[in-house]
């Protein structure tokens, strides 16, 4: 497995691979890798000839310095996990100055409203940071395909929009959410939970499952009220938002329209740790 810390060395290796007519896959990550990331890597290995995994905790997408500071960083463990998967991977592990130069700042994007709802409403500037780093990674690696998890569904839609708006010529592949046995969506943040609360946090997924069931017979308002009441009865978890939104536009739904695709989204805190999850709804 090759580890690149400098853009120029990686670009040189990429030029060689491209000149041989091989396809390139990129799996962007912020490290603290788990089975969810590994499933993205496995998809990338199936679909492309050479896979690059980037590991970079991107400062510009954190609106809270405490969250950035506490974000788990486990580079040695990450490299061992990737190496155990296959020695053919390339890992890009840049420093902030290597990726950003002297000014670690976000570009400003207009994602046509996708950035203004849910995560965008609660995490100021988050998607400008994500857009900035993903664009830089795409410009460095020039992948044919890039792989992202559906757990961050809003991010996935925004990256699709980014590639269209900036004509980045990368196919974006969304991959299904991987869950722990309890149902809790796999996330690097789960590492920070006590074992007790890790079990408790599965309540988020079970609430989404119930919301999906109710979607067949109840109105959006009735489901939203039910979710809020359920969280009120569950003192360890604090609901930040529950939304049912159009899967494409992410616009909040008041009334379902037959034939449209919808998803339910939750953000909640447990032990001061913010978790998100979502589920596709049948309509
Ligand atoms: O989903 C993530 O881990 C990050 O937001 C990403 C896409 C790697 C950008 O930093």
Cβ–ligand 1 distance for 29 under 6 Å, the answer yes
Out of 135, 155, 174, give the residue to mutate to test ligand 1, the one with the largest number of ligand atoms within 8 Å of its CB.
155
Q: Which pTM value belongs to this model?
A: 0.96
Show me where the domains of the chain are located: 2-175, 188-280
List the pLDDT tens digit at each of the 283 positions of the chain.
Answer: 999 999 999 999 999 999 999 999 999 999 999 999 999 999 999 999 999 999 999 999 999 899 899 999 999 999 999 999 999 999 999 999 999 999 999 999 999 999 999 999 999 999 999 999 999 999 999 999 999 999 999 999 999 999 999 999 999 999 999 999 999 999 999 989 999 999 999 999 999 999 999 999 999 999 999 999 999 999 999 999 999 999 999 999 999 998 899 999 999 999 899 999 999 998 6
Cα 239 from Cα 204, distance rounded (Å): 9
- For the structural domain made of 188-280, what CATH number should be given? 3.30.1300.10
- Count the residues in the chain: 283
Using CA positions, which residue lies closest to atom 2 of ligand 1?
29
- Do 56 and 153 contact (CB within 8 A), yes or no? no
Q: Is the dihedral of CA 123, 124, 129, 132 positive or negative?
A: positive
The rounded distance, in Å, linking the Cα atoms of 157 and 242 is 18
Quick one: 2-175 is in which CATH superfamily?
A: HUPs (3.40.50.620)
> Which amino acid residue places its CA nearest to atom 8 of ligand 1?
29
Give the distance (Å) from ligand 1 centre to CA of residue 159.
10
- Sheet (strand 90-92) strand order: 2-4, 90-92, 50-55, 24-29, 145-149, 171-175
Ranges assigned E (strand) in the chain:
2-4, 24-29, 50-55, 90-92, 145-149, 171-175, 237-246, 262-270, 273-281
Using left for φ > 0, alpha for ψ between -120 and 50, and beta otherwise, residue 32 falls in left
How close is the Cα of 29 to the center of ligand 1, in Å? Answer: 5
Q: Say whether 188-280 and 2-175 share the same fold.
A: no
Residue among 36, 60, 61, 163 to mutate when testing ligand 1 (max atoms within 8 A of CB): 61
């Amino acid at each position: 497995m090759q580890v690149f810390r400098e853009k120029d060395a990686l670009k040189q290796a990429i030029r060689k691979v491209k000149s041989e007519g091989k396809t390139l896959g990129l799996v962007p990550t912020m490290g603290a890798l788990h089975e969810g990331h590994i499933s993205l890597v496995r998809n990338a290995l199936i679909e492309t000839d050479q896979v690059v995994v980037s590991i970079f905790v991107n400062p510009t997408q954190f609106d809270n310095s405490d969250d950035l500071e506490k974000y788990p960083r486990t580079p040695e463990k990450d490299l061992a996990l990737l190496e155990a998967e296959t020695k053919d991977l390339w890992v890009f592990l840049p420093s902030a100055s290597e990726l950003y130069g002297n000014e670690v700042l976000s570009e400003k994007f207009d994602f046509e409203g996708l950035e203004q709802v849910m995560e965008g409403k609660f995490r100021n500037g988050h998607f400008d940071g994500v857009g900035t780093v993903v664009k830089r990674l795409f410009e460095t690696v020039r992948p044919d395909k890039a792989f992202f998890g559906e757990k961050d569904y809003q991010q996935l839609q925004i990256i699709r929009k980014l590639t269209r708006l900036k004509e980045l010529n990368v196919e974006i592949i969304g991959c299904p959410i991987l869950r722990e046995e309890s149902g809790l969506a796999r996330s690097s943040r789960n590492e920070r939970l006590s074992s007790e609360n890790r079990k408790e946090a599965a309540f988020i997924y079970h609430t989404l499952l119930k919301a999906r069931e109710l979607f067949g017979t109840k109105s959006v308002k009735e489901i939203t009220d039910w979710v809020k009441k359920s969280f009120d009865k569950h003192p360890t978890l604090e609901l930040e938002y529950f939304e049912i939104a159009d899967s494409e536009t992410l616009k909040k739904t008041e009334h379902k329209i037959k034939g449209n695709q919808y998803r339910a989204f939750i953000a909640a805190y447990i032990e001061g740790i913010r978790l998100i999850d979502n589920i596709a709804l049948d309509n």
